[in-house]
Amino acid sequence: MTDPADLRPITTEEWPAFSRAMLEVFGDEPIGSFTETPPSVAELDRSLGLFADDGRVAATAGIYSRQLTVPGAVVPCAGITWVTVSPTHRRRGVLTAVMRRQLTELHEQGREPVAGLWASEGGIYGRFGYAPATARGNLHGRTRQMAFRPDVDLGTGTVTPADADAYRAGAARVHEALRRWVPGTMERDERWWERLLRDPAEHRGRASARRFLLHTEVDGEVTGHAAFRVRSRWTDDGEPDGTVVVEEVRARSTPAYAALWRYLLDIDLVRTVESAYAPAEDPLRHLLADPRALHARPLDGLWLRLVNVGRALAARRYPAPIDMVIEVRDRFCPWNDGRWWLRGHPAGAFCAPTDGDPDLVVDVDALAAAYLGGVSLGTLQAAGRVTEVSPGAVTQAATAFSWPVSPFCPDQF
C-alpha cells in the first residue's frame, strides 16, 4: 500500500483518527479539542492520509497555505506539516510516496513555487530536495554578565507588561511592519495569532504561563513586543537561580529592541536567559559590553524546497547583478532538472530553461539552502555541493544570492 493513488485527503469525520495517529508517532498526548475537531489553520483539502486494510491511519501529511518573505519579495509557500508514517508501514516507500505526491501536485497546481517545513529529524528531508535555509540561535547566558555597552540608547519609550489581547493587537502591527523585510518570515493572520498564543499548561515545561511585553513610544505607538516565561529555581543555599525563557523579541527600532531586552535581563530572581528560537545572528550580542556573555548553539530552522526553480529564482531580488546559466540537478522533481538562465538585479529577475552552457552546476537542495541569502554558495562549493564551470561564477553568484538581512523564521508549523 505505497502507491500514491492510495493517499487521499481526509474528511472532517476522519480527523479524530487521523490526528490521533499523527500524535502517536510524534509521541505527543492529545491536548484540548485538537483530536476532536480540526484546528482553524487546518486545510483538509490539502491533507493526505493512508489507510491500512484494518482501517487504521498508517500515514499522515498536510499543507498550510502561507506567504513567505524572500529577498526583496513575498511569495506563496506550501507549509508542509503533519508528516508521519506508522512503524507498521516503515521501509515500504510510504514517505517517498507522500513527498512525491505533494511536490507533483504543487507543481501541477502552480500555486506555490517553494515549500517549507520544520524537520523533526535532520536526516529525513535532504533526499527529497529540502535544505535548512534559516537558523535559530539557541541563545543562552548569565544575566549578571550581560551589561549593555554604555553607549546603548534605550530611547524615550516605555516597556510595560500587557495582557494577551493588548499584546496580540500591538504585536500584530509590529510583525506586519517587519515581515516584508526579513527573509524567512511568514504572514500571521488571525488564525495564526490564535494558534501562536495558545498556552496549554502541558506545553510549559515547568515554566510560568506566557507573559507579554509591549514597547510604546511617547505618542502611544507600539514599536516592539516580547513574549517570555519564567522558570523559577533556588539553589541549595537558598539563592535565586531562575531562568527567563524568551520566546520572541521583535522591534521596529534599535532603542525599542534594546529596551525590551534590558527589561528581560533585569527580571528579579533570574540568573539565566534562554532563547531557543532567536535569530542565529541576533543583534543582542552587539548590545553587550562583553559579547562572550551570550552563548549560541545554532540549529536548523526552516527547511526549504524549490518546487519550481524558474519561478522561485525569478521571484526574489538580487542585490548585485547576475547573468548566468545554472545547471540544477534534481532527481526527485524532473521538471526542475536541467539548465536555467538567470538574469537578476535589485529591481527584478528573469529565469527560464535554456540549452546554453552552464556557468554553475548545483544540487537543488544546495540551491534551496542559498535561496534566502543565509548560506553562501561559496561555502556550498567548499562542501562539494556547487561546481564552478566558468571562472569567477561562484563569486558572482554568491554575491548576488546574498542579502543584507539574515533570514529568520520565527513561526513553527
What pLDDT is recorded for position 4? 64
Q: Are 265 and 76 in contact (CB under 8 A)?
A: no
Q: What phi and psi, each to the nearest 5 degrees, are found at residue 274?
A: -130, 140
Q: pTM of the full predicted structure?
A: 0.95
- Taking alpha carbons only, the member of 364, 368, 360 closest to residue 327 is 360
Percent of the chain, pLDDT > 70?
A: 99
What pLDDT is recorded for position 3? 66
Q: How far is CA 28 from the centre of its chain?
A: 21
Superfamily, domain 309-401: SCP2 sterol-binding domain (3.30.1050.10)
Residue 84 annotated in ligand binding: yes
Percent of the chain, pLDDT > 90?
A: 94
- Taking alpha carbons only, the member of 345, 394, 372, 322 closest to residue 114 is 372
**Average of pLDDT values for 375-384?**
98
pLDDT band at 203 (very low <50, low <70, confident <90, very high): confident
**Average of pLDDT values for 137-159?**
97
Residues taking part in catalysis: 125, 413
Cα 69 from Cα 409, distance rounded (Å): 9
Burial of 151 (0-12, 13-18, 19+ CB in 10 A): exposed
* pLDDT tens column, 224-260: 999 999 999 999 999 999 999 999 999 999 999 999 9
Residue 93 annotated in ligand binding: yes
Kindly report the CATH class assigned to 139-299. Answer: alpha beta
Residue 11 annotated in ligand binding: no
Residue 94 annotated in ligand binding: yes
Q: How many CB atoms lie within 10 A of CB 117?
A: 22
- Taking alpha carbons only, the member of 179, 116, 113 closest to residue 369 is 116
**4-112 adopts what CATH topology?**
Aminopeptidase (3.40.630)
What pLDDT is recorded for position 53? 86
Q: Any idea where the domains of the chain sit in the sequence? A: 4-112, 139-299, 309-401
Cα 399 from Cα 394, distance rounded (Å): 8
**Average of pLDDT values for 6-15?**
96
What pLDDT is recorded for position 329? 98
* pLDDT tens column, 20-66: 999 999 998 888 888 999 999 999 999 999 999 888 999 999 999 99
What pLDDT is recorded for position 136? 96
Same fold, 4-112 and 139-299: yes
